[in-house]
Amino acid sequence: MENDNTLRRLKTIEGHLRGIIRMVEEDAYCIEVIRQIQAVEAALNKVSAQILEGHLNSCVITAVQGTNKKERERVLKEITEVFEMSAKV
C-alpha cells in the first residue's frame, strides 16, 4: 500500500530530524548540521513529490475525465497553488 511507504519514509525523516536536534544540542559543527538539514529537506521533497504523483494519477485524472467542470477547475487550481507555494518557500 502506498500509504505504508509514505508513512515509513516520514518516520525515517522524523528520526533523522531528531538526530539533527541532538546535533544542535551537542553543539555539532555548523556545516554538518546544515548538510543534515539539507538531507531532510531533500527527503521531504521526495515524499511530497510521491504524494503529488499519487494525487495526479487518481484524483486529478478522475476530475479531468469527469463531466463536472467546476471539479476540473478546482483540482487544477489546487495543483497551481501547490506549485506557487513551493516557489515561495
Residues 31-67 have pLDDT tens digits of: 999 999 999 999 999 999 999 999 999 988 998 899 9
pLDDT band at 12 (very low <50, low <70, confident <90, very high): very high
Residues 24-40 have pLDDT tens digits of: 999 999 999 999 999 99
The torsion region of residue 66 among left (phi > 0), alpha (psi -120 to 50) and beta comes to beta
Interacting residues of 7 by C-beta distance below 8 A, sequence separation 6+: none
What backbone phi and psi angles, to 5 degrees, belong to 26? -90, 10
The pLDDT, as a whole number, for residue 15 is: 98
Domain 2-88 listed as CATH 3.40.50.300: no
| 57/61 Cα distance (integer angstroms) | 6
pLDDT band at 74 (very low <50, low <70, confident <90, very high): very high
Domain positions in the chain are 2-88
